Structure 1
Amino acid sequence: MADRDVAVSHDGVGHRARLRQKLAESGGEALHDHELIEYLLALAIPRRDTKPLAKALLREFGGIGGLMTADWQAIARVPGMGDTSIAAVKIVHATLLRMLRSEVAQRPVLASWQALLDYLRADMAYLPVERVRVLHLNSRNMLIRDEHMGDGSIDQAAIYTREVIRRAIDLGSSALILVHNHPSGSPEPSRQDIEITRQIAEAGKRLNIAVHDHIIIGSQGHSSLRAMGLL
């Protein structure tokens, strides 16, 4: 799909220059959310007035987080968004995740807990379906594999004890951190979340594989079953 250009007026050019000046002088904090997206889109489709499109995207996806984690096809359904502008959004998100993931990978996970939460939130908080991931750690609690185990419906994703433990054995994992998201936004664990966590922890214990935590990510925050005394 091609991005459609609409000529930018003299006032529009001046507005863009003012955004650039604010960014240069005061950083991103000086710009509103729609201005950040507006300027990003302007780099992809420079002859178009991108302010209305930026506002439409934020409305459609509920904010920057929802926009960045939306899939390509969902963004393409917004009128005016073509491959070039979608790629601009997705490359920013990919760069952010690469940066956050490097923070997690360079140090023991338990010693960089906030970095881990930042990474997971950026990647999963606004997903429209439940996604299950297992973080595999070595004996020094360094991340050896961040494994996507599968996606579910809008409100559930299956976690199978046997699959998780078998994969941990294959990778030689010493410890695991279970992760999944709640598309509803609430990170409150369900009874099923608690039960499956305990099943995996019990199975791992017999093989000297520790389950450090089960983290549930939502747009409203996160829950740690370990911190809640449920593991």
Structure 2
Amino acid sequence: MSRRTAEQDLVRRVGLGEAATGLSTSGAEASSAGEPPSPPASAKGPAAGGLEESSPHFLGHRERLRERFRTAGSEALPDYELMELVLFRAVPRADVKPLAKQLIQQFGSFAEAVNAPAARLREVKGVGDAIVTELKIVAAAAERVTRGKVKGRTVLSSWSAVLDYCRAAMAFADKEQFRILFLDKRNQLIADEVQQRGTVDHTPVYPREVVKRALELAASAVILVHNHPSGDPTPSNADIQMTRTIVDVAKPLGIEVHDHIIVGKDGHASLRGLRLI
């Protein structure tokens, strides 16, 4: 009797069956044929986005989080859980909760994370192109939605929508931008243009160029907007002086400067509301 036959006979007598011996498992057979056994799932290396493969426990967590979002809405979720929902698409097979928490801790909030520069996002361990793309899609969608609430409406009657749009578009930028909203005689939006981009604390603005562009578009009024990357929207003396110069140049030509809004992650300031113009 061969050695294998003797082993099989012993197994049958004990009542275990051949499968319990491990002789017919794929790993044992491959090993006997000189092929290495397949590595366990935990040893397969990094998952998409640079994260390590996790055990399947995260699958149930994902569905529970989605269900909570569907039934209770986004307000029921803290920032890191909303970030998890975004990361699910970019990293389909890993536990993304630690990375979501890291992004919120690193940048301060969900809004600041999705608006952070791509280069800074990539400095966070585990963040690759797929994750950066998903975050930038969210930021672009937020800006597009708020812009849509401004278009086709009388701007002065939808002031909160204007402020929401300006904050979504500029509040978290890492460099100063000077934007102009050009309005027709009914105070509806004709155009929305970024006229200048500057450094972290300065943007060159040329009042005559502002008025020249308003005349080209046949605008009757403008709203000036710029951001303070520091987060503090308090107007500087230079901001006030520049605004007054634009007012002085525009008024004789029949162009009204409705306001100059300064936005930052900590809020916004209106020069008109502060009675500075």
Q: TM-score range by the shorter chain?
A: over 0.9
In 2, Cα distance between equivalents of 1:200 and 1:187: 20
In 1, Cα distance between equivalents of 2:121 and 2:183: 35
In 2, Cα distance between equivalents of 1:92 and 1:206: 43
In 2, Cα distance between equivalents of 1:70 and 1:151: 17
Q: Is this contact kept in 2: 1:181–1:218, CA < 8 A? A: yes
Q: Is this contact kept in 1: 2:51–2:126, CA < 8 A? A: no
Q: Is this contact kept in 2: 1:66–1:127, CA < 8 A? A: no
Q: Is this contact kept in 2: 1:69–1:123, CA < 8 A? A: no
Q: How far off is 1:5 after superposition?
A: 4.8
Q: Which runs of 5+ in 2 are unaligned?
A: 1-47
Question: Are 2:142 and 1:96 equivalent residues in the alignment?
Answer: yes
1:34-57 Cα offsets, whole Å, 9 max, x none, are 011112101221112111111111
Question: Are 2:247 and 1:198 equivalent residues in the alignment?
Answer: no
Question: Are 2:60 and 1:14 equivalent residues in the alignment?
Answer: yes
Match in the other structure for 1:209? 255
Match in the other structure for 2:129? 83
Question: Are 2:100 and 1:54 equivalent residues in the alignment?
Answer: yes
What TM-score do the two structures reach when normalised by structure 1? Answer: 0.95
In 2, Cα distance between equivalents of 1:145 and 1:74: 31
Q: Is this contact kept in 2: 1:126–1:218, CA < 8 A? A: yes
Q: Root-mean-square deviation (CA), in Å?
A: 1.3
Give the count of matched residue pairs. 230
In 2, Cα distance between equivalents of 1:126 and 1:94: 13
Q: Is this contact kept in 1: 2:151–2:188, CA < 8 A? A: yes
Q: Is this contact kept in 1: 2:220–2:255, CA < 8 A? A: yes
Q: Is this contact kept in 2: 1:69–1:124, CA < 8 A? A: no
| Matched letter for residue 175 of structure 1 | A
Match in the other structure for 1:126? 172
What TM-score do the two structures reach when normalised by structure 2? Answer: 0.80
Q: Is this contact kept in 2: 1:155–1:182, CA < 8 A? A: yes
Q: How far off is 1:3 after superposition?
A: 2.3
In 2, Cα distance between equivalents of 1:7 and 1:39: 18
In 1, Cα distance between equivalents of 2:85 and 2:147: 26
Q: Is this contact kept in 2: 1:181–1:216, CA < 8 A? A: yes
Question: Are 2:88 and 1:42 equivalent residues in the alignment?
Answer: yes
Q: Which runs of 5+ in 1 are unaligned?
A: none
Question: Are 2:206 and 1:165 equivalent residues in the alignment?
Answer: no
1:144 to 165, 172, 190: 190
Match in the other structure for 1:187? 233
Stretch of structure 1 that moved more, 91-100 or 203-212: 91-100
Match in the other structure for 1:67? 113
| Matched letter for residue 122 of structure 1 | A
